[in-house]
Structure 1
Amino acid sequence: MGLVQPEDPIHVVIVGAGLGGAACAIACARQGMKVTLFDQAPEFYPLGDSVGFGSNTSRLFKRWGTLYDDMWAISSRAGDTIMRDYDGRVLTVDTTLATAEATYGHKGLIGHRGHYHMIFIEHARKNGVEVRLGNRVERYDETKPSVFLPDGEEVVADVLIAADGVKSAGRLAVLGFEDAPVHSGYACWRAYCDSSIFKDDPLVSPFLERDCLNLWIGPDLHGFVTVIRDGSEINAVLTHKDVGDIAEGWMFPGNREDILEAIHGWDPAFVRVWEKMQNILDWKLVYRPCLDKWVADTGLVALMGDAAHPFLPTSTQGASQAVEDGATLALCLAKAGKGNIPLALHTYFALRYDHVKAAQQIGITQRDKWHNLHDKNTKKMIKTLDTSKGVLDSYWLWAHDAEKAVEDGWEDTSRRVKEEHHL
């Protein structure tokens, strides 16, 4: 059961029930708020491939009831990340996954995005969140505030949170104009399947002996192969340059021949994975710089997650930063109280903006580092790769505690916000 609500709780409407929106709903409900969570999908299924959460979010999950325990039960037991050159030569073995609890206080989590999502929705409901599926929000009224559904229903709340992704309708209410996402110039071929198709394959079957995380880097390309659930499931991702059009969407069937041409001459084991993987998708990586405005002029509508700051997958922090947004919003709303929603939302932005902007940039710098180590013609590595701090530049984010940041920064930041916004 959720926590007991006060007699006149803050009513929070969250639009978008993805990982970030669902996490925000859980966090708000646990602060005693009334939460309505909308999503246009008529039903959720455990779709997708792997996703990782750093220790920065594991510490939050542990505070939110049994959420962490339920996630850990289906998470990878991999203790290291093996980085290889494109030809298969091992460059380094990063043991951060095994040492994260000792270093940061909590383990990182890697698992199936769809399975995690189902757990988030279950916990939202357990905490008393009203989850309304098959309800597409057509527009926002940032003054009441309220949202309107296609059948004309208007739902009035105390605060609206737009967690509806890169195509967010909430951005219009916040910015006052349409702000379309742009293609980043890169895309990911992605596939997830049962690993039984590799059971007797001499090149790939050794990866199935235990949960593992493997990374290959080459000229203008990098790829992951992740094995989870005791070797029973395998996920493959390959990031590549792309000039695709995202006008009508950004998820298309992947062409196996294009993939095999791109990785010709690569590690035979990595090539074999892509020769056999099923259900390949070509995901165009859309992007926009971190918005410098997340809160409507009325102070009653806020953006979070990809609606405010879409992350490239090379940051390995997109889902984690959306969860941190949700945790910060919930605590700011609780501290400000029902009569001070603008103070809560503007303080949320002030506490998060610089941190998120720096985190988002890692997605670009990490990709560029990996993609430019080799001579494009000879494919020989011509730059030294420093892996002394691990394979990811985002590990410094694992030490962050979003809720502690609110506790520590609320007094000074909210005072400054009051002065700046005349609240």
Structure 2
Amino acid sequence: MSAESTKSGPPLQTSLSINFLIIGGGIAGLTAAIALRRVGHNALVLEKANKATARGFGGGVRLPPNLTKILFHWGLKPVLMRRALISHTMTFMKYESSEYLGEHVWDKGVLKETRGIYMLSTHDDLYEIFYNKAIELGAEIQYDAHVVDIDVESRQVTLENGKTVSGDVLVGADGELGVSRETVVGTPANGHPTGVAMYDTLIPSGELEDYVKSIWKDNAIFTAFGNNQAMLAYPVHDTDEIALQFYGPDEKSGNYGDEPSVYVPDIAKGLHTKLLSRMTNADKAVRISVRAHEDIEDWVSDDGPLVVIGEAAHPFPPGTIQATAMAVEDAAVLAKLFSHLSEERQVQSFLYAFQELRQPRTRAVRAGEFGNIFYMTLADCEETVRRDNGMRAKAAAGGRNVLEGLAGDVSRLWDEIRTIFGYDCEDEADDWWVRWGVLRERAIQRSSVIMDEESMLFDFSAMGVHVHEVEAAGDSDE
């Protein structure tokens, strides 16, 4: 059954429309605007950069089934089918020798259960799709609107130019280094270097033409395991280009939004010459440090209706499968909860419900993504030998899915990936409303009725008895 067929009707519309002020106009901010407008709320997005900068340079983005099912629910399947590619296969090789280790084909049954598909795109294409959808739905997006201060109690932000903007609910979607996260946590939260960086770039597919013909069938995601380094490669832009993502030692710090500055041959040292010789015409890469962040306990401010989402709430390792998906899931859950808004008193409880639903999910998924990176870039050891030999044996025996049935961490990681793909965040939000939200509303209504009934009872203890003496008729002087 397709995602569209299970949720083909229009979304539930709120009976109390309020104004959401979204700080940050990246993927998290735009998708929050889309989701909230779909259920009838107003959304104003403030982005500190201009549109071209916010749109990004076009590095690769993988869209797993748990993400695409949401986008299909939102009516974006037609444009995704035009501008993104469907991938069915992962191909594995050794980084230093280019030895083929095998392949893994996404199981059709698994994908059918997830109600999504695995797709490949780029950040700039995805941004443009979300921007257009947000505008189509009536969201307002202001660029060059840099928020420098947040007054949560007054529900107001101050821009760099001195102007103030207010809303009923403030949504912090301005990333791990933004003012929203700092406002909620109380201190800057820049994370700790792990010694690993991701280097992100594109290369014309013609540079790899002969190699593409031999390994890039079915829009495969190409993964190379190395000694303290790894490479991911997959086609984008209608296969005209290949997205390249290298993981290796972090010699300098780098963030999203930095200009491409690193020559690929400099970071691809150790890559087999068959591939390295084809990298000379690759665009310069953006260096993005992989930082480890401590989980923050509170995503909702104690001072008022400010909630952080996306990278502001849970920074993910760059380039990982679920980094974009978790931000979109946040947006979908937030809107699902606020589709039930009928009274202002519900605002804070819905924000805390959002935190309750999203924290366990994002923490578990983020831990798995860190595990994937460090497993791909393991230094040569007995564990990597077992991994590679297991894949070789499965491939030699004619097995297509070399990740299944392997012992240890490979099998565990694959099982976790399947579970993550099948998760439906919107269903989870609906379940919360049925199990807890409705019960809470009924309890409040019963309490209100009891109070009203008590206020209608006659309070005899408050009565005063006043006696007026009346003269008897016979005692009159008349």
The RMSD of aligned alpha carbons is 3.1
Q: Is the 8 A contact 2:253 2:287 kept in 1?
A: no
Shift of 1:315: 4.1
What is the 5 A alignment of 1:39-58?
Answer: 39-44=47-52, 45=55, 47-58=57-68
| Partner-residue secondary structure (3-state), 2:340 | helix
The 3-state SS of whatever aligns with 2:385 is coil
How far apart are residue 373 of structure 1 and its match? 6.8
Q: CA offsets, 1:303-340, max 9 Å, x none?
A: 11111111114641010001001111111222244512
> Rg: which structure is higher?
2
Residue of structure 2 equivalent to 1:406:
429
Q: What amino acid is aligned across from residue 396 of structure 1 in structure 2?
A: T
Counterpart check, 1:346 vs 2:352: yes
Is 2:231 the partner of 1:236? no
CA contact (8 A) 2:44 2:141 kept: yes
* 2:475 alignment counterpart: none
Aligned partner (choices 20, 24, 30) of residue 28 of structure 2 = 20
1:312–1:364: 8 Å Cα contact kept in structure 2?
Answer: yes
CA distance in structure 2 between the aligned counterparts of 1:317 and 1:355, rounded to whole angstroms: 11
Structure 2 match to 1:70: 79
By how many angstroms is 1:176 displaced?
2.3
1:150 aligns with 2:160: yes
d(CA) in 1 for partners of 2:338, 2:183: 20
1:261-272 equivalences under 5 Å are 261-263=269-271, 266=272, 268-272=273-277
Pair 1:258 & 2:282 matched:
no
Cα distance in 2 between the residues matched to 1:89 and 1:361: 29
Find the aligned partners of 1:127 and 1:246 in 2 and give their Cα distance: 35
Q: Is the 8 A contact 2:15 2:340 kept in 1?
A: no
TM-score by length of 2: 0.78
SS at 1:335 equivalent: coil
Mean Cα displacement is larger for which, 117-126 or 273-282?
A: 273-282
The one of 174, 186, 197 equivalent to 1:164 is 174
Q: Offset at 1:397? A: 0.9
Q: State which of 364, 378, 390 in structure 2 corresponds to 1:372.
A: 378
Cα separation, partners in 2 of 1:247 and 1:4, compared to 1, 3 Å: closer
SS in 2 for 1:355: helix
Secondary structure of residue in 2 paired with 1:290: coil
SS in structure 2 opposite 1:17? coil
Shift of 1:151: 2.2
Structure-1 residue corresponding to 2:362: 356
- Corresponding residue of 2:286: 281
The answer on whether the counterparts of 1:15 and 1:161 sit within 8 Å (CA) in structure 2 is yes
Alignment CA distance shift 1:245-1:174 (3 Å): same
Aligned residue runs from structure 1 range 283-322, under 5 A = 283-313=288-318, 315-322=320-327
CA change 1:329–1:4 in 2 (3 A) is closer
1:366 CA displacement: 1.3
- Of 329, 336, 340, the match for 2:334: 329
After TM superposition, the structure 1 = structure 2 runs for residues 89-168 of structure 1, keeping only pairs within 5 Å, are 89-96=99-106, 101-168=111-178
Displacement of 1:292 in angstroms is 1.8
Within 2, Cα distance between the matches of 1:99 and 1:192? Answer: 32
One-letter code of the match for 1:33?
Answer: H
SS at match of 1:189: strand
Tell me, in whole angstroms, the C-alpha distance in 2 between the residues paired with 1:190 and 1:98. 30
CA contact (8 A) 1:259 1:274 kept: no
Q: 1:402 to 1:126 in 2, by over 3 A?
A: same
Give, in whole Å, the separation in 2 of the partners of 1:251 and 1:165: 18
Query: Gaps spanning 5+ residues in structure 2: where?
Result: 1-9, 392-401, 406-410, 444-478
Worse-matched range after superposition: 178-187 or 288-297: 178-187
Shift of 1:96: 1.3
1:176-209 deviations in Å (ceiling 9; x for gaps): 222233323211222113334445xx44565577
Look up the SS of the partner of 1:220 in the other structure: coil
The secondary structure found in structure 1 opposite 2:242 is strand
Report the alpha carbon displacement of residue 413 of structure 1 after superposing the two structures with TM: 4.9
Question: Does structure 2 conserve the Cα–Cα contact (< 8 Å) formed by 1:54 and 1:317?
Answer: yes
DSSP-derived class of the 1:226 partner: strand
Q: Distance in 2 between matches of 1:118 and 1:357?
A: 29
Alpha-carbon distance, 1:247 to partner: 9.6
Return the alpha-carbon distance in structure 1 between the equivalents of residues 259 and 194 of structure 2: 14
Structure 1 residues 245 and 137 mapped into 2: Cα distance closer, same or farther (>3 Å)? same
Cα displacement string for residues 39-66 of structure 1 (whole angstroms, at most 9, x for unaligned residues): 112223462211012111211111213x
- Code of the residue aligned with 1:52 in structure 2: it is R
C-alpha spacing 1:68/1:302, structure 2 compared with 1 (3 Å): same
Q: Give the structure 1 partner of residue 399 of structure 2.
A: none
AA in 2 matched with 1:25: A
Q: 2:94 matched to 1:85?
A: yes
Task: Provide the rounded CA distance (Å) in 2 between the counterparts of 1:234 and 1:208.
Answer: 10
Structure 1 unmatched runs, 5+: none
Larger CA deviation: 331-340 vs 140-149: 331-340
Higher mean alpha-carbon deviation, 41-50 vs 102-111, is at 41-50
Alpha-carbon distance, 1:174 to partner: 1.2
- Seen in structure 2, the aligned counterparts of structure 1 residues 4 and 131 have a Cα distance that, compared at 3 Å, is farther
Instruction: Provide closer, same or farther for how the CA distance between residues 272 and 97 of structure 1 changes in structure 2, counting only shifts above 3 A.
Output: farther
Question: What is the Cα deviation at residue 279 of structure 1?
Answer: 2.2
C-alpha spacing 1:255/1:138, structure 2 compared with 1 (3 Å) = same
- Aligned-residue sequence identity (percent) comes to 19
Identify the match of residue 191 of structure 1 among 177, 180, 201.
201
Say whether the 8 Å CA contact 1:27–1:326 is kept in structure 2: yes
Shift of 1:114: 0.6
Deviates more, 1:30-39 or 1:149-158: 149-158
The range that moved more, 312-321 or 130-139, is: 312-321
Q: CA shift at 1:403, angstroms?
A: 0.8
